[in-house]
């Protein structure tokens, strides 16, 4: 497997993604749609938001990646997600699942399992509590990351990756990415991101943009996490007193301007561990 600590490898994926401008089909939640679309445009991808069951299959077939986000869940959305997911699978298009609020209600939990039973996903991206719930591990769901230690995150991520059979990304103060064997930590980012609704949802879509141009999902995820986190750091470093409202606009600007040189200079990647 590619060693993602190779700086040229990680940084180079940003340029590859921008050159291709992959089309990312988002079936996401109503709270974050605008921020997600603008964020994808800023970093260099091409967003499309299509939800109707009459067209999602066709759209997923022409897209370069599909993102399923259950933040504002309805039965109709679940049906559309499964139709789109099956079409993406048939077209060998990667599928990223963001299980927002997994475990908060029985409907939400059952819907996630229904999606997983019908669709082969490429990456599961969530906070530790969400991923733990999807993997059948006990965790309290509060809408934020309720499993605090980095060691817990690593255990949950590895368990989930092995159980579900796909790479897992758990985001928090430090992010964890694993395929169940190799384990990587990414330390880029800033706490102000927790004050912006949709920061995690946009991240899932940005990871999809990197995965769209790189078959190694772990490598692509690490590259996307580093770029995303560094953009946030650059905002706060240039404007230490910035609040969450102004941060959103400045963050989009940094996603647009972040470079390979920024990633080479600022990336905080540890791994693989245990080798």
Domain residue limits, the chain: 7-270
Q: Does the structure show a pLDDT above 90 at 19?
A: yes
Beta strands in the chain (DSSP E): 23-27, 46-49, 65-69, 95-98, 123-126, 168-170, 175-178, 183-186, 269-270
Instruction: Say what the pLDDT of residue 274 is.
Output: 29
For residue 5, the model assigns a pLDDT of: 55
pLDDT of the residue at 3? 58
Question: Could you tell me how many residues make up the chain?
Answer: 275
The confidence band for 31, taking pLDDT boundaries of 50, 70 and 90, is very high
Identify the weakest region by mean pLDDT among 65-74, 105-114, 145-154, 255-264: 145-154
Query: Given pLDDT bands bounded at 50, 70 and 90, which one contains residue 138?
Result: low
Rounded Cα distance, 115 and 86, in Å: 10
DSSP string, 173-217: SSEEEESSSSEEEE----GGGGGSTTHHHHHHHHHHHHHTT-S-H
Q: In whole angstroms, what is the distance from residue 139 CA to residue 142 CA?
A: 10
Note the pLDDT tens digit of each residue in 32-74.
999 999 999 999 999 999 999 999 999 999 999 999 999 999 9
Is 178 marked as a binding-site residue? no
Nearest Cα to Cα of residue 39 among 26, 52, 50, 51 = 26
Taking alpha carbons only, the member of 38, 26, 32, 153 closest to residue 96 is 26
DSSP conformation class of 72:
T
- Helices H / strands E in the chain, number of each: 11, 9
- Interval 189-211: pLDDT, tens: 999 999 999 999 999 999 999 99
- Dihedral of the alpha carbons of 142, 145, 146, 148, in degrees to the nearest 10: -170
CATH fold of 7-270 reads 3.40.1190
Find, among 27, 37, 169, the residue nearest to 111 by Cα. 27
Residue 81 annotated in ligand binding: no
pLDDT of amino acid 7: 43
125 annotated ligand-binding residue: yes
CB atoms < 10 A from the CB of 260, how many? 16
Average pLDDT of the residues of the chain: 92
Distances in Å between the Cα of 117 and the Cα atoms of 55, 112, 114, 214 are: 22, 9, 5, 25
183 pairs with which residues across the strands?
Answer: 178
Mean pLDDT, range 113-131, rounded to an integer: 97
């Amino acid at each position: 497997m590619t060693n993602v600590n190779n700086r040229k490898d990680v940084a180079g994926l940003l340029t590859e993604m921008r050159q291709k401008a992959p089309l990312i089909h988002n079936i996401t939640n109503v709270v974050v749609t605008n921020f997600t679309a603008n964020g994808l445009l800023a970093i260099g991808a091409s967003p499309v938001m299509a939800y109707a069951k009459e067209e999602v299959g066709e759209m997923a077939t022409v897209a370069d990646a599909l993102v399923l986000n259950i933040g504002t869940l309805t039965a109709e959305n679940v049906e559309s997600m499964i139709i789109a997911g099956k079409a993406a699978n048939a077209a060998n298009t990667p599928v990223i699942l963001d299980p927002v609020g997994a475990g908060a209600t029985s409907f939400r939990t059952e819907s996630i399992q229904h999606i997983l039973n019908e669709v082969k996903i490429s990456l599961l991206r969530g906070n530790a509590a969400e991923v733990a719930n999807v993997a059948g591990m006990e965790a309290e769901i509060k809408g934020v990351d309720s499993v605090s230690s980095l060691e817990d995150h690593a255990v949950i991520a590895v368990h989930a990756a092995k159980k579900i059979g796909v790479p897992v990304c758990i985001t928090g103060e430090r992010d964890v990415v694993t395929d169940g064997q190799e384990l990587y930590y990414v330390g880029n980012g800033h706490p102000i991101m927790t004050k912006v609704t949709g920061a995690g949802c946009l991240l899932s879509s940005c990871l999809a943009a990197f995965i769209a141009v790189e078959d190694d999902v772990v490598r692509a995820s690490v590259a996307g996490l580093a770029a995303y986190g560094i953009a946030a750091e650059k905002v706060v470093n240039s404007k230490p007193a910035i609040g969450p409202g102004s941060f959103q606009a400045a963050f989009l600007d940094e996603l647009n301007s972040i470079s390979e040189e920024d990633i080479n200079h600022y990336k905080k990647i540890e791994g693989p561990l245990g080798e």
